[in-house]
Amino acid sequence: MNYQNSSMNYENSPMNYNNSPMNYQNSPMNYNSNNGVYDNNGKRIGYEVTAPSGVTNVFDNNGNRIGYSPAKR
């Protein structure tokens, strides 16, 4: 319900190019990317992006927001 963490906030939306899988920094094709999220078997399941507000958003490889970590205070 906190707008800062909400997917309705553009900073957290996959519609924002910074969060999009179309952004090469977030692409699984970028082998030098340092924001990948991996499962216990080492398979890349998504990526994380920190918004300017400090919220860390987790997206799957298709750009669907699957989680977040609130901003550190």
Tens-place pLDDT, residues 19-73: 999 999 999 999 899 999 999 999 999 999 999 999 999 999 999 999 999 988 6
60: part of which helix (H) or strand (E)? strand 56-60
State how far Cα 71 lies from the chain centre.
Answer: 14
The angle at the Cα of 70, spanning 63 to 3, to the nearest 5 degrees, equals: 80
Considering the entire predicted model, what is its pTM?
0.89
| C-alpha distances out from residue 59 to 11, 38, 46, 67, Å | 13, 12, 5, 7
Read off the tokens for 68: 């977040």
